[in-house]
Amino acid sequence: MSTQHNFLAVYLGSMSGEKMKAWHAMPEAERKVKEREGMAAWHGWVEKHKDVIVEMGGPLGKTRRIDGRGIAEISNALTGFTVVRAASQEEAAKLFENHPHFAIFPGEAIEVMPVLPIPQM
């Protein structure tokens, strides 16, 4: 049996990108239908993969950046996250092929990365 590892999937999108512009240009009634279709597909994805979802995660709100200069409000492409368990990064990535985030909704992409162990001192 293969060892399972956790992988963080981050959902990326752009409020000013072409996909979002097209989404907002869509007639409201049509957009509402796509939203319902997208949410149904997303719930279907969750149901299909519930055995490997470690943390459902969720949408992300406004971002604050904290550094040596203090705290500032910034924009980035991060729109949400999910943590899954898989034997490899390739296997984890395949879970997100044709995901509703970009297949139905105006999301741009999903990036998958391993959650590494904290180094021991």
* DSSP 8-state symbol, 119: P
pLDDT at 36 over 80: yes
pLDDT at 8 over 80: yes
pLDDT at 2 over 90: no
pLDDT the model gives residue 1:
53
Give the pLDDT band (50/70/90) at residue 17. confident
Mean pLDDT of 63-90: 97
Domains of the chain: 5-114 (3.30.70.1060)
pLDDT the model gives residue 12:
97
DSSP 17-55: SHHHHHHHHS-HHHHHHHHHHHHHHHHHHHHHHTTTEEE
As given in the structure block, the two tokens for residue 113 are 């990365």
The packing angle between helices 28-49 and 18-25, to 10°, is 120
